[in-house]
Structure 1
Amino acid sequence: MRAWQSDGFVILPGFLPAAELTAATKELDLLFPSADGFHDGTDPRRGRFVGDEFAGIDTFPFASTEISLLAVNDRILGLAAALLQDDDVHLYGAEAWAKYTGACDYDQDLHRDYLGHTILVPSTTPGCQQVEMFVFLNDVFEDLGPPHLVSRAHTAHLPAVPNWLLRPGHEGAGRFVGRADPALYDAEVSGAGPAGTVIAFEAGTFHRGTQLRAPGGARYSMHLSFRPSSLHWGHRVGWAMKSYSDEWAEFVHRATPRQLQSLGFPPPGHPYWTPETLAGMALRYPKLDLEPWR
């Protein structure tokens, strides 16, 4: 908690044990080419990932139910609850992301994510914070493009605008783009770590993606976003738009009540749960055990 409060981020190497990653990593091929499949050109999906750093993103619910379940792993939910000081946290964004050496330029300028995560500006007030997480699904050491972050100790004085702080020689336009003090880049901390590493950071924390340089390299990760359930101004996607897909139904059927609560299901004991709604849910999710909500 001390690092979270002082720096605006915390790096937890190997936070998820290997045993809790295995089922998800075995299904990575349902989403992305392997390193070999991309680099030797044998995977027909290769072209999708070339030329655009964000082209490697798949959104929740994933083709792999195991990866969807990992997004709301109990350790992940517990970490979000601890950092946000609230036991009722909601997942408001979840992405799986593949990057490949040489596919494109992944080297970013320092920025904050708040413009895509809230209609307001970041707050350090307890109960008004949001937390994002990078979760590594394979070893991501320095030559595989780990994120770099800058402590709040160096950025707390900076205004909400501009948001992107460019290095010398980089060009950009618009009121959200400005020039960086080179000292900010000197103050970066690398988030490199083994598979299972979790980097938790606030929406107001300056950070950036870095270049993949390992020959034949691939990086697989998740980007998760949580908020207290009562914080209504922080959002990224609406789950209802995806809630009639086969992937969503398979996730719901296998998730626990705690995991479903993080997606917006009312908890057991909530007035929503009546004989009428339970009957309807039994039709919508025929393989879901509704006993916890009865």
Structure 2
Amino acid sequence: MRVSDKNLAEVWDRGFTIIENFLDRDALAAAREALWEIYPKPEDYFKAPEEHPELARGQFAGLRLFPYSSWALNRLPVYPDLIDGAERLLETQDLEIYKIELWAKYSGAVNYDQFHHRDFGNHSLVVPRADRNHTQMTTFMLLSDVTAEDAPTKLVPLKFTRELSLPTRAVPFGELFEHEVALTAPAGSLLIYKTDVFHRGSNFTGVNRSRFMMLVDIQQRGWRWQGKMSWPDRADAKGMRETIVRMTPRERDLFGFPPPGSEYWNEQTIADVSARYPGMDMTPYLKPSADGSAEQKS
């Protein structure tokens, strides 16, 4: 589903917006099935939670970093409507994806309650600007239904926190609770929020409940004081080679891959990158000749 202009305006006004049923059914179904290659199915977990002690080591124990073994999950960060929304919110096509995480939570594993905080603390060396420049678009993609019982993320509209200076990155537990809005929505929904928005994780209130999300963060390319993950550091991770091969040149560019027309491409690099990523269509990286056909750069 395309992110509406109304939703984008709400990000600037309220600090966040929720788009229900954002993912198409097929993409959501495939992604949900691929989750079980990484996490135990809820029914299996709750039969014997003691068999999964790794998920009880802390609030962030269920985080798994991109890439994943399944294309069904790896394609979500470049979902066309997500990138379109980012281009329109950030008012540029020169974008980079700077963080991707999967996050699973199971009731009873740990207490997921948090105090309200702002995310820019570990997304930037400085602070967000008060205007629309240098904005980072942070998102949660729900891969399961989230009700009030399912540890929903809770966010505070900007109108309640504008008087709190940006260096105030967190407030004591309980403060702002009266103003928070719970992210309750069906699977396939999308939350977009800014890094100056106060929000927190909450604990489950139901038994045998679980929650699964993908977090994708996008910013304008080139601001060296902003970011979080290094994709070259993940280049040899399982699933990355297949993902790079299957992506389009535009999708690879979002991860910093040299785009068509870059001075990086010449006869040697085209041959060697093709050998590193067998099956990749290298045609887009060839230099167009005068007659419109493709030739290699030398």
| TM-score when normalising by structure 1 | 0.90
CA–CA distance in 2 between the matches of 1:242 and 1:52?
24
CA distances 1:244-279 after superposition (whole Å, capped 9, x unpaired): 233211111111222111111132222222222211
Distance 2:171 2:53 in 1: 31
Cα 1:283–1:152 change in 2 (3 A) is same
Aligned match of 1:77 in 72, 83, 99?
83
Deviating more after overlay: 235-244 vs 60-69: 60-69
Equivalent residue for 1:246?
Answer: 238
Shift of 1:42: 7.4
Distance 1:263 1:166, change over 3 A: same
Say what the alpha-carbon RMSD is for the aligned residues: 1.6
Any residues of structure 2 matched to 1:48-63 within 5 Å, and which? 48-63=54-69
1:274 alignment partner in structure 2:
266
1:189 aligns with 2:181: yes
**Matching of residue 11 in structure 1 with residue 3 in structure 2:** no
Say whether the 8 Å CA contact 1:146–1:190 is kept in structure 2.
yes
Q: CA deviation at 1:163?
A: 1.3
2:277 aligned residue: 285
Which residue identity does 2:58 align to in structure 1?
D
The alpha carbon displacement at 1:212 in A equals 1.5
**Cα distance 1:66–1:43, how it changes in 2: closer, same or farther (>3 A)?**
farther
Matched residue type, 2:18: I
Alpha-carbon distance between aligned partners in 2 of 1:290 and 1:127, rounded to the nearest angstrom? 35
Partner of 2:290: none
Corresponding residue of 1:173: none
CA contact (8 A) 2:125 2:226 kept: yes
Q: Which runs of 5+ in 1 are unaligned?
A: 169-179
Distance 1:51 1:285 in 2: 37
Correspondence 1:33 to 2:40: yes
Structure 1 CA distance for aligned equivalents of residues 16 and 47 of structure 2: 37
Greater CA deviation, 269-278 or 84-93? 269-278
C-alpha distance in 2, partners of 1:17/1:282?
Answer: 32
**Quick one: structure 1 residues 194 and 272, their matched pair in 2 at CA, closer, same or farther if it must change by over 3 Å?**
same
Q: Which moved more, 1:81-90 or 1:159-168?
A: 159-168
Asked if 1:256 corresponds to 2:252, the answer is: no
Q: Find the counterpart in structure 2 of residue 148 from structure 1.
A: 154
Match of residue 265 from structure 1: 257
Which of 8, 24, 41 is the aligned partner of 2:31? 24
Q: Which runs of 5+ in 2 are unaligned?
A: 1-7, 287-298
For the residues of structure 2 that align with 1:40 and 1:90, how far apart are their CA atoms? 41
Relative contact order (alpha carbons < 8 A, sep ≥ 6): 1 or 2 greater? Answer: 1
Distance 1:125 1:243 in 2: 35
Q: Deviations over 1:122-168 (max 9, x none)?
A: 12333410011011001111111111111111112211233111135
Secondary structure at the aligned position of 1:98 is classed as strand
2:128 to 111, 122, 129: 122
Give distance in 1, aligned partners of 2:108 and 2:50.
16
Which residue number corresponds to residue 291 of structure 2?
none
Q: Is the 8 A contact 1:86 1:127 kept in 2?
A: no
- Supply the distance in 2 between the matched residues of 1:20 and 1:110 (Cα, whole angstroms): 32
Q: Does the 8 Å CA contact 2:19/2:189 hold for their aligned counterparts?
A: yes
Report percent identity of matched pairs. 30
C-alpha change, 1:270 and 1:190, in structure 2 (3 Å) is: same
Are the counterparts in 2 of residues 133 and 223 from structure 1 also a CA contact under 8 Å?
yes
Q: Distance in 1 between matches of 2:147 and 2:90?
A: 28
Which is higher, the Rg of structure 1 or of structure 2?
2
Q: Match of 1:157?
A: 163
1:282 counterpart letter in structure 2 = S
